[in-house]
Amino acid sequence: MKDRYDFAECEPKWQKIWEDTGLHKVTDSDQTREKYYCLEMFPYPSGNLHMGHVRNYSIGDVVARFKTMQGFNVLHPMGWDAFGLPAENAAIKHGIHPYQWTESNIENMRMQLSRLGFSYDWDGQVTTCKPDYYKWTQWLFLQFYKAGLAYKKHAAVNWCPDCVTVLANEQVVNGACERCSTEVVKKDLAQWFLKITDYAQRLLDDIDKLQGWPDKVKIMQENWIGRSDGAEVNFRIDGTEETITVFTTRPDTIYGVTFMVLAPELPLVEKLTRGTPYEGAVQDFIRKMQTVSEIDRTSADTEKEGLFIGQHVINPMNGEKIPLFIANYVLMDYGTGCVMGVPAHDQRDFDFATKYGLQIRVVILPDGVPDKYVQLTQAYDAEGVMVNSGPFDGQNNEDAMKNITKYMEERGTGKPTVNFRLRDWLISRQRYWGAPIPVVYCDKCGEVAVPDDQLPVYLPTDVEFKPTGQSPLAECESFVNTTCPECGGPAKRETDTMDTFICSSWYYIRYCSPHDDRNAFTKSKVDYWMPVEQYIGGVEHAILHLLYSRFFTKVLKDQGLIDFDEPFTNLLTQGMVLKDGAKMSKSKGNTVSPEETVSQYGADTARLFILFAAPPERDLEWSDAGVEGAYRFLNRVWRLVYAYIDGLNESSGEEEITAADHETRRLTHYTIKKVTDDINLRFNFNTAISAIMEFVNGLYQYRDKNPVRNSAVEAEAVNTLVTLLAPFTPHIAEELWHQLGYTESVHKRSWPTYDPAALVQDEVEIVVQINGKVRDRMMMPAGFDKEAMVQYALDREGVQNLVAGKQVVKVVGVPNKLVNIVIK
RNA sequence: GCCGAAGUGGCGGAACUGGCAGACGCAUACGAUUCAAAAUCGUACGGGAAACCAUGGGGGUUCGAGUCCCCCCUUCGGCACCA
């Protein structure tokens, strides 16, 4: 025997054999077979795999291999999220075309993935930057367009000066670009949006359907969508017939309104002040606001600042004249951009009113506190009884909220409204390396969708890469100038490309029929494979990718293209891989290269360590010593199996079943149960692996202490061990399986089932406690009668001594577990 | 500020329904093997001389609490002037 597992020889050997024999080929010819779609988030082809990928894909591979062995028809695909900025930046910096850069990165990463032995069917690989994919991305865009869910509008949008492009709301983190952390500025541009807000309510409601998602992610989505219930109220502008509508969640406080505030950027502000003495000051204020960064502007700590603009509005409830302000703390894009100021019951309004000496009028009092004694030092935002509120005085404010809204609705001055924090999804990007938006502009016909038979709108290859803030496409004459599909006249193409999150919002559907060149997907295949049973990826996509994908799915359902409305039944968000307590990153210099680890210890060792070191949802601390440990364990398995093979004809006796044989069989079946449950029920790969380790330790003891062993028991144990290891460490398991004399792949085996009868123990240890402290132990037949067990414990000599002279107050017996004697 | 998760040996972690806290692994020490080393195998390994004390801290429920309840602290993640 070889005394060491030669991974350098075995791993490539088996990878080749699996590839040649098509072990991981997906077939969907027999759709009566129960399917299991196991999906991991596809990577951006940066050029190198990092440990986060290894973790993500190792987890997925265990699930895929396990489900396959359990008899499911498993779809386990892989592909590339291949559009995006780094490729274009490389083009600018090194003069290499994004396509080439991306292609060679894909090639390298695919090789790295292959070396890890993941069970992908590479024939189904999907690459989003290829025309056979982005053609359908464009086609899907047009489905949105035709349904009125894609539109172009002029808006103040988030602009990242470093990436020289606009960003979606979801891509702005604390006022900075999600990619490069550069501070985001506002820019006025005409941009394409998808109407995700039309789906806000359904995206919110259907969170309830996501039983298999972590609560954390569901809560994050819920907060992001941010539904709030309230009312719209119309205030007439004094001296005109025009009204200003505000959104409020507290219509019960309307009698407490003493001022009104508009967001400075509202066009209405300019209109109201034009030609008035206030115009200059207002313009100055607006300009000043524009110089303040988004972060400072929206921070809760920023001091409130505002300006009276010379106009008043009329409170529709009591006809009062209310001064109109603009202020930094009112946001342009939430609600209507207007806020009714109720300083007594809103802290922000309170701060503002205090600073500018505005009236503070209490309209809600905590029960039993008379009006005249109230001296507010801060806003009162809790419940109470209405005062100073005309006909609503004396009502509980909760009731008044409904009654006032109803009253306004009857008089046409307001109505109940729901408002969402979610904004429409800005999908235009002023960059080259993305899917072109398939729209042309014709002088005669206006905005025209590119017809299906003219798709794809190819990305031209002969473009100049300069970070100008305009898409390189805009300077590519041959691309821009085209003919109008409607009238045949000269027309110009849209030069913005799509946000790459569009590409990744439907790739999981493309995987079901990756070669379909007539449709975005083959309906029958999607019907079979979707939805995804298990999705695995990092929690950083909790909002962006996962929300967008849910949105896409719902739109496709509404268009009658698919029959399900949630794409991912179960979601596992894996933790980060840390080194020295921090996330691995080049800038911190604490990275560990998967390539080096694989060269040094092999793929099986790398996978085993990463699965063993922590449960999947938690962060994982990298440890080189831990990797050594995993390597040692695999060699320990290797030697154990070889010792068995070498001794096959020597010391195995057939005749008797000894206690040790019996115990070994019990351990074998216990391990099957434990590993199966840990994978299936809880994804606790770490405890599954430790159970296998205990199994190995037990088998070593069995050998060491029993020169004569039952051959059937030993054979079952060894075969089981190798089979249980197969999903975790596929190469060594395959090698050992063949060394054991089998010719078919271990990965084609059925997952073992345990014999419940084998788990039954004849004798169990009973702990005897006195006042909850362990004082004695005794062996008893399993299932022994409770009363008899308690009596037996009380009769024990050691127990008698401890109890002597004390009063036994109570005795608790738990069959097969313990006896607790309470004494005084 | 609001929402969420987590705090267990020197370290990573285990304890599934309230029932022997620290499984499994790492590190460390000692021993065996060896001319020697590596590798391997074995033993020990929370603190304390002991009674006992120990799961972030303090209360509580219970015969019994890492696990359930209340209060507090710390760390990490998300949101953050959202009207």
pLDDT tens, position by position, A568-611: 999 999 999 988 878 887 777 888 999 999 999 999 999 999 99
CA distance A312 to A315: 10
A703 touches strand B (CB under 7 A): no
CA distance A696 to A280: 83
What pLDDT, in 10s, does the model give residues A18-35?
999 999 999 888 888 999
Strand B interface, A 81-140, C-beta < 7 A: none
CA distance A615 to A603: 19
Coil vs helix vs strand at A602: coil
Residue A1 has pLDDT above 70, yes or no: no
Instruction: Identify the band that residue A185 occupies on the pLDDT scale cut at 50, 70 and 90.
Output: confident
Residue A654 has pLDDT above 70, yes or no: no
C1’ B52 / CA A95, Å: 74
Residue A56 has pLDDT above 70, yes or no: yes
A221 touches A200 (CB < 8 A):
no
Q: Which residue has the higher pLDDT, A662 or A138?
A: A138
**Element of type H or E holding A558:** helix A544-558
Q: Which amino acid is at A66?
A: F
> What is the per-residue pLDDT for A653?
58
A771 touches strand B (CB under 7 A): yes
Q: For residue A142, which of A429, A387, A449 has the smallest C-alpha distance?
A: A449
H helical segments located in A42-181: 51-69, 85-94, 98-115, 131-146
Long-range pairs for A128-131 at CB < 8 Å and ≥24 separation?
Answer: A128/A79, A128/A80, A128/A81, A128/A82, A128/A83, A128/A435, A128/A500, A128/A503, A128/A504, A128/A507, A129/A80, A129/A82, A129/A83, A129/A98, A129/A99, A129/A102, A129/A433, A130/A82, A131/A456, A131/A458
> What is the per-residue pLDDT for A174?
79
| Protein-proximal nucleotides of chain B (any atom < 7 Å from a CB) | 3-5, 11-16, 19-21, 23-27, 39-42, 52, 63-65, 77-83
H helical segments located in A574-710: 594-601, 603-612, 624-646, 659-680, 685-705
A620 touches strand B (CB under 7 A): yes
Beta bridge partners of A823: A808
CA distance A744 to A746: 6
Instruction: Give the Cα-Cα-Cα angle A137, A140, A145 (nearest 5 degrees).
Output: 125
What pLDDT, in 10s, does the model give residues A320-376?
999 999 999 999 889 999 999 999 999 999 999 999 999 999 999 887 666 655 677
* Protein residue with the closest CA to the C1' atom of nucleotide B15: A687
What pLDDT, in 10s, does the model give residues A438-482?
999 999 999 999 999 999 999 998 888 876 767 789 989 999 999
C1’ B46 / CA A759, Å: 33
Residue A124 has pLDDT above 90, yes or no: yes
**Element of type H or E holding A717:** helix A711-725
**Element of type H or E holding A201:** helix A200-205
Q: For residue A552, which of A572, A530, A536, A570 has the smallest C-alpha distance?
A: A530
Residue A160 has pLDDT above 90, yes or no: no
* Protein residue with the closest CA to the C1' atom of nucleotide B23: A690
The two structure tokens encoding residue A652:
């195995």
Instruction: Identify the band that residue A636 occupies on the pLDDT scale cut at 50, 70 and 90.
Output: very high
- The 3-state secondary structure of A86-124, one letter per residue: HHHHHHHHHCCCHHHHHHHHHHHHHHHHHHCCCCCCHHH
Whole-Å CA distances, A694 to A629, A664, A670, A690: 14, 12, 11, 6
Q: For residue A724, which of A662, A680, A671, A670 has the smallest C-alpha distance?
A: A671
Average per-residue pLDDT for chain A: 91
The two structure tokens encoding residue A463:
């473009």
A767 touches strand B (CB under 7 A): yes
ipTM over the 0.90 cut-off = yes
What pLDDT, in 10s, does the model give residues A670-701?
999 999 999 998 899 999 999 999 999 999 99
Whole-Å CA distances, A545 to A84, A90, A221, A336, A506: 15, 25, 11, 28, 10
Percent of chain A surpassing pLDDT 90? 71
Q: Is A818 exposed, middle or buried (0-12, 13-18, 19+ CB in 10 A)?
A: middle
Long-range pairs for A561-564 at CB < 8 Å and ≥24 separation?
Answer: A561/A143, A561/A523, A562/A509, A562/A523, A562/A526, A562/A527, A562/A530, A563/A527, A564/A530, A564/A531
> What is the per-residue pLDDT for A652?
58
Residues, chain A, total? 824
Strand B interface, A 190-229, C-beta < 7 A: 215-216, 219-220, 223-224, 226, 228
What pLDDT, in 10s, does the model give residues A396-444?
999 999 999 999 999 999 999 999 999 999 999 988 999 999 999 999 9
* Protein residue with the closest CA to the C1' atom of nucleotide B5: A216
A704 touches strand B (CB under 7 A): yes
CA distance A134 to A457: 9
What pLDDT, in 10s, does the model give residues A219-267?
999 999 999 999 999 999 999 999 999 999 999 999 999 999 999 989 9
Strand B interface, A 281-300, C-beta < 7 A: 297-300
Coil vs helix vs strand at A22: coil
Dihedral, A734, A740, A742, A747 alpha carbons, nearest 10: -30
A641 touches strand B (CB under 7 A): no
What pLDDT, in 10s, does the model give residues A738-763?
999 999 999 999 999 999 998 888 88
Mean pLDDT score, A276-295? 87
Percent of chain A surpassing pLDDT 70? 98
By C1' distance from the Cα of A639, the closest nucleotide is B40
C1’ B51 / CA A804, Å: 19
What residues contact A244, with CB distance under 8 A and at least 6 apart?
A234, A235, A237, A260, A262, A268, A313, A324, A336, A338
> What is the per-residue pLDDT for A3?
62
CB-facing half-sphere around the CA of A256: CA atoms within 13 A: 28
By C1' distance from the Cα of A250, the closest nucleotide is B83
Whole-Å CA distances, A552 to A456, A504, A560: 20, 10, 12
Q: Phi and psi (nearest 5°) for A532?
A: -70, 125
The two structure tokens encoding residue A689:
């692996």
pTM of the predicted structure, to 2 decimals: 0.94
A745 touches strand B (CB under 7 A): no
Beta bridge partners of A158: A167, A186
Residue A298 has pLDDT above 80, yes or no: no
